[in-house]
Structure 1
Amino acid sequence: MLGRLLSYGFCIAILQLVIACGPAAEQNSAAVPQEGAAQENAVQPAAEAKTLILAFGDSLYAGYGLAPSDGFVPDLQKALNDAGQDVKVHNAGVSGDTTAAGLRRMDFVLDSLPRKPDLVILGLGGNDLLRGLKPSETQANMEAMVKKLADRDIAVMLTGMLAPPNLGKEFGGQFNVIYPALAKKYDIGLYPFFMDGVVGRSELILPDGIHPNAKGIDVIVERITPSVETALKE
């Protein structure tokens, strides 16, 4: 696990250098490439199904660099359907979203759905790491989103991130407790690390060294599906 995290830290360090050498970014704008961002920002109608899941996150949810059928959302829906669940998983992943950007658009996305989702899978924070934002800001934004969903009586499952070692022990200690602490405080589901099983395995990562390829998505979905099924039962 440590070796994988070290590899993860190296990849993020390289990407941070690329970002630092590029044009100045607009505050809270994308920290990763924006390929397909226009399509990802558009809210598409959610097909009728017994159960509606909203996958609300960044490029890891949006399916960056993948064919439309190979991303996390369609793969998760297929896994749940194959398991006998009448489920529609609605993709609300937007490449480059920080937790602040996600907080700003959450109400719009929820209000645009045909009905209240039965579960929201919430996965943001990776771009906060890439930009070196304060963990306290990430925590505040994540908690605000969890509160919004609680106020609407919508069940939540968090998919967490882990700070790479290159950001320092103090930063990691502050960041890595965010998701477990929120899950405990609000009694909600938690999948501790979205990229578990993929980090450090080059055969499961796109050439950018950050995002999972189609095989990587398969690994993620295989591991996360039982947690989603548990969250749906609660």
Structure 2
Amino acid sequence: MSFSTLVTSALLTSTPSYAATVLILGDSLSAGYGMSEEQGWVQLLRNDLPEYQIINGSVSGETTAGGLRRLPNLLASSPVNLVVIELGGNDGLRGFPPKQLKSNLTKMIELSQQSGADVLLTEIMVPPNYGPRYTKMFNDVYHQLASDYDIELVPFFMQEIAPNPDLMQRDGIHPNEDAQPKITQWMSPWIIDAVKK
């Protein structure tokens, strides 16, 4: 066997082969705000699912408009099998119109599907102090899009975490380190099922 063949063989064997590539497109809830990246739920998911390449495209403070701007480059950087969209919380906190939220999410879903990726949409809820009308209109966007595009809607993973102060940071908005394994346990089966479809 020649030297060049040995080098080529070594390079091939050193490159990990993944069963699927998953892109998490989210905000501070997925970016691990207030802690190191190793402590965040996305890294914990990588530890649990080493057979998947999991790309964390989450940015703290991100809105759906920001996610939409970044998505084309993220999709172009690597072939992606599944896009998990966890965005909208910052839109809600800023009181953005649900119509704008729906438009941005729609474009992200379509861009992902056009690239050949499946989509997993995570439900986002806003605090009730925004009023029942806005709260319902906001939440309905996610259910409408899941139905219109026949994609899975993951129930909001903060539902059981947010009411528990032991799982929240002092700001009362972001989950703490103790909450991260719980988010991983919540998201993992949804992601596994979506990849295997």
TM-score bucket of the superposed structures, by smaller chain: 0.7 to 0.9
**Residue 130 (str. 1) matches residue 93 (str. 2):** yes
Contact 1:55/1:91 (<8 A) preserved:
yes
Question: Contact 2:75–2:112 (CA<8 Å) still a contact in 1?
Answer: no
Q: 2:44 aligns with which of 75, 79, 82?
A: 75
Matches within 5 A, 1:170-185: 170-185=133-148
User: Aligned match of 1:53 in 16, 22, 34?
Assistant: 22
RMSD: 1.3
CA deviations on 1:188-220 (whole Å, 9 max, x unpaired) are 121121313211111111122111111111111
For 2:176, the equivalent position in structure 1 comes to 213
Q: TM-score, normalised by structure 2?
A: 0.88
Runs of 4+ in structure 1 off by over 4 angstroms are none
Corresponding residue of 1:65:
34
Whole-angstrom distance in 1 between the partners of 2:164 and 2:35: 18
Q: What whole-Å deviation, never above 9, does each CA across 1:116-174 have from its counterpart, x for those lacking one?
A: 11111111000001101011110110011001111112101011111221001110111
Which residue of the partner structure matches residue 119 of structure 1?
82
1:231 offset after TM fit, Å? 0.8
TM superposition shift of 1:48: 4.9
Quote how far apart the aligned CAs of 1:80 are: 2.6
Unmatched tracts of structure 1, length 5 or more: 1-46
CA distance in 1, matches of 2:164, 2:54: 27
Q: Which residue of 1 aligns with 2:72?
A: 107
Displacement of 1:58: 0.8
SS at 1:104 equivalent:
helix
- Kindly indicate whether the alpha-carbon contact (under 8 Å) linking 2:157 and 2:186 is maintained by their aligned counterparts in 1: no
Query: In the alignment, residue 90 of structure 1 is paired with which amino acid?
Result: I
Task: Give aligned pairs, total.
Answer: 182
Higher RCO, Cα 8 Å, sep 6+: 1
Task: Return the match for 1:92 from 39, 48, 57.
Answer: 57
Give, in whole Å, the separation in 2 of the partners of 1:208 and 1:183.
31
